[in-house]
Amino acid sequence: MAISVQVDQVFQLFAKLGQVINNSERSSTFMSPESMFAEESGRFRIWSGNIGAHKTGRSSLDYRIRENPNLERVVLNLLGDLKRTLEDGKLSNPGYG
């Protein structure tokens, strides 16, 4: 699977879990779950934008690492881990539906 496809899936999962978090009970912690989640989502967006992970064609990360299957495997594994983590967060929240 292409890196750009995985990145799009991560964006979708961030959006879905963000909705769940925003609809959940507010906490009185110093840094709210909403702001922590928004910060991490923003970091992912910046990372993917800086290296072209979300793009296709010659400016994409897929294209630039096409001759290094080990690096491609590492990136895909990390994106898979992130997707599973976001899915776990989504499924463990009783407000998700």
Tell me the per-residue pLDDT of 18-27, one tens digit each, with 9 for 90 and over: 888 777 765 5
Beta strand residue intervals within the chain, DSSP E? none
Residue 45 has pLDDT above 60, yes or no: yes
Span 9-15, mean pLDDT?
95
CA–CA separation, 91 vs 12, rounded Å? Answer: 14
- What would the pLDDT profile of 47-93 be if each residue is shown by its tens digit? 999 999 999 999 999 999 999 999 999 999 999 999 999 998 866 66
Cα dihedral 65, 69, 72, 76, rounded to 10, equals: 160
For 26-39, how does the pLDDT look when each residue is reduced to its tens digit (9 = 90+)?
A: 555 555 777 888 89
- Give the global pTM: 0.83
